[in-house]
A and B are shown apart, each in its own frame.
Chain A
Amino acid sequence: MSTFAFEAQAAETTYPLTITNCGRPITFDKAPERAVSIGQSSTEIMYLLGLQHRMVGTAVWLGPVIEGYEEANAKVERLADNDPSFESVVAKKPDIVTAQFQWHVGSEGIVAKPEQFEELGIPVYTSPADCVGKDNTGGGDGVRHAVFTMDLIYQEIAELAQIFNVQERGEALVAELKAREDAAKQKIVSANGKLSAVFWFSSAELDIDPYVAGKNGAPGYIMRALGIRNVIDSEEEWPTVGWEAIARSEPTIIVAGKMERRRFPADDIAVKYQFLKSDPVTSLMPAVKEGRVVEMDAQAMNPTIRTIEGIEALAEAIEKAGLTQ
C-alpha cells in the first residue's frame, strides 16, 4: 500500500468527536489548542505530527528529544524532568492531556486519576500501548498479558491525528515507520531464529537483581520482529531477574539501556559495562567475553515511537558483529 493511496483518502475530522481511549470515552468539540504531554513518547508523536505550536507543557524525560526537534522542544515549557504535579499541569490550562503511562495518569496514577482532569473539563488521552492488554492496577510497571506490537503506536498516531485534525500527516508518518521496520528486518533475515538476547534496562543497586525486559513489552516486540529469542520468560513489563538465571541462559547478545536519567548508578551505560566486565559471573558470559553488548536508547526499550529505532539499532549491531553469516 503506497502512501499516495492513503493521502487520497485522508479525511477531515468531524467534531464533536468521541473516541474510546483505554476503556473511557473522551469527547472533543474542536481540535485542541493547548496540549500538555506527560511522557516523552507522547510529546514526540505530537512533534512528528507537526503539532509543536499547540503544546504548552511537557514532562517525563528519559533522554534527548527525537532528532530534528530540538528547537521545537526548546520552545515548549518543561514542567518537570520526571513527574509533574497535578496542579502544574492544570495551571497551563490545557484542553487535552496526553499521557504515556497509566502510572502517571491512571487509576493508580501518581500525577492524577483521569477523572480529576475530566472534572475540570480536560480530556485525557493515554497511549494505547500502555493499556491495551496491560494491567496497571497493581502499580509499578504493570503486567502485560497481550503482546505489544507497533500497531498500538500506529493506533496512537492515527487517533491523535484524528483528534487534532491532521490525519494526512498521521497516515504518512505511519507509512514511513512501517517502511523503516521492514528495511531493518530484511537486513538480518539470515540470522532469524539463531540468536537470543536479554534487555537490561537498569538496576536499583549495582549488584542487585537487574530490571530486564519481560516477553510482552517493546523489547519483546523488537526481538520477535528480528527473530531473536528473549531468554526472559515473564509477563511483567520489567521483572527483576537474578544474574544467576541470566548468566545460565547464555544469551548471544546483551542489550544495555542508555539513558540520561541518573537515578541509579546502573542508569549509566559506562557503569553497566564496568559491572558486566568485573562481576565474577557475568564476566564469564560469552556475550560479555566476545563483546556482544549492544547499547540501546532506553526510550526505544519502552513501547514508544522510538521502538522502531530500537529495531534498527539492534539489526545494525547484529550485522556489524557478523552474526548474520
Chain B
Amino acid sequence: MVGSLSRTGATVLALVLLFSALWLGAAIGETAIPMDVVARTIANRLWQAGYPLDPINEGIVWNYRLSRAVVAACCGSALALSGVVLQSLLRNPLADPYILGISAGASTGAVAVAILGFGAGLLTLPLGAFLGALLAFGLVSLLAMRAGRGHGATILAGVAGSQLFNALTSFIVTKAANAEQSRAIMFWLLGNLSGVRWPDVWLALPAAVVGLLACLWHARALDAFTFGSESAASLGIPVRRVCVVLIGASAMMTAAMVSIVGSIGFVGLVIPHAARMLVGVRHGLLLPASALTGAIFMVAADVVSRVIIPGQVLPIGVVTALVGAPAFAIILGQRGAVR
C-alpha cells in the first residue's frame, strides 16, 4: 500500500516531470532558440513581463512549440486512458484504441469529411472522426462476438478492422495518386504533430480533461470489471450504462486526438502496463498515473522525433512504435510465462 506522504511525493515528482517535458518541448525544435528567450517568452505570454524579444522567435516558441507540446501531452493522456479503459472492460491486456481499429476508424471518418466532404458541411473533422471511431469499434465488437469472446478473437477482429479502415483511408486519399499523396497518407497512418496550433489545444485539452473525469468517476466500476461483467453486475454496477459511457469516452478521446494529429499507435497499449508497474492495478491510482505517464511519454517522444535526425522531423507514430513494439513483445512474453 502506498503511503499518503509518498503519494504526494510521487504526484509532485510527476508534475515536475510533466512541466519539464513541456519546457523541453518548447525549447527544442528545428532551429536553436536560447533558453533565456524561451523563459522570457513564457513570462511575456503568461505574466505580461514585457521583455523585448524578436517577435518571430517569440511566435515560434509560443505558437508552434508550446501549443504542440501541450497537444502532445493531451494526446498521450487521452490514448493512455483509452487503453486503461479498454483493457479493463474487455479484460484483455492487449487492448488499445490502435490495435482495436478505433484509431483507424477515426482516421477514415476524418478523411471522409476532409476529402470527400462527407456530411455536407454539417460534420466537422473531429465529429467525423468520432463517428468513424464508433463505427470501427462497433464493427470490431461484432466481429469479436461472432468469433467467440477469447482474447485472441478480439485482437484478430481488431487487426481485421484496422486493415479495413486503413485501406479505406488510403483509398480515399489516393483518389488521385501522386508521390505527394503517399505523404498525406503517412500523416493519417503514422501521426504528425507539425501542424498543431493553439486552436487545436482548445479541442485536445477539453477532450483529455473530460475523458479523465469520466474515467475517474467510474474508477470503482472499472475495478469491478477486472473480474468480469457478471461480477461487476453482482456488485451493483449498472454494467450497460458504464460500458456505454466509458466506450463513448474512449472513442471521443481517440477521435479528438486522431483528428488533430493523425493515428498514433502503441501509447494506449504500453503506457497502462508501465503505470500498473508503478502504482498497481487499482484504477483510482492507475488512471491519473496513466494519464501523467502518457503525457510525459508523448512530449518526450515528440522531442525525440525532432532531434533524432538533424534537419528532419520523424512522424511521431514512428517513434512511439519504435518504443512500443518491443514493449508489446515483452508484454506478450510475460503473458506466455504466466500460462
Contact = CB atoms under 8 A, between A and B. Distances in A.
Contacts of B198: 280
A206 B195 contact: yes
Interface in B14-63: 29-31, 55-57, 59-60, 62-63
B59 to A, nearest CB: 4
Contacts of B5: none
Interface residues of B, number: 31
B214 interface: no
B180 A204 contact: yes
B110 to A, nearest CB: 11
Contact of A208 (B29, B57, B60, B187): B187
Contact of A248 (B31, B312, B313): B31
B26 to A, nearest CB: 12
Interface in A80-139: 81-83, 103, 110, 139
Contacts of A280: 59, 62-63, 197-198
Contacts of B197: 207, 279-280
Residue with the highest number of chain B CB atoms closer than 10 Å, among A139, A263, A264? A263
A205 interface: yes
Interface residues of A, number: 35
Interface string A226-260: 00000000100011111111011010000000000
A196 to B, nearest CB: 15
Contacts of A243: 64
B180 A141 contact: yes
A208 B195 contact: yes
Interface in B167-213: 176-184, 187, 192, 194-198
Nearest to A238: B180
B177 A83 contact: yes
A81 B177 CA distance: 11
Given A245-B31, A250-B56, A281-B59, A209 B313 contact: yes
Interface in B141-188: 176-184, 187
A140 interface: yes
Contacts, number: 88
A281 B60 contact: yes
Residue with the highest number of chain B CB atoms closer than 10 Å, among A206, A207, A234? A207
A263 B194 contact: no
Nearest to A236: B312
B64 A281 contact: yes
A252 to B, nearest CB: 15
A123 to B, nearest CB: 24
A273 interface: no
B236 interface: no
B333 interface: no
Contact of A234 (B176, B311, B313): B311
A211 interface: yes
Contacts of A245: 30-31
Interface of B: 29-31, 55-57, 59-60, 62-65, 176-184, 187, 192, 194-198, 311-313
Give the 5 A-B residue pairs with the shortest CB-CB distance, closest first: A207-B195, A208-B195, A281-B59, A280-B63, A204-B184
Given A83-B176, A204-B184, A280-B59, 7 more contacts: A110-B177, A140-B183, A205-B187, A207-B196, A241-B30, A247-B60, A284-B55
Interface of A: 81-83, 103, 110, 139-141, 202, 204-209, 211, 234, 238-245, 247-248, 250, 263-264, 279-281, 284-285
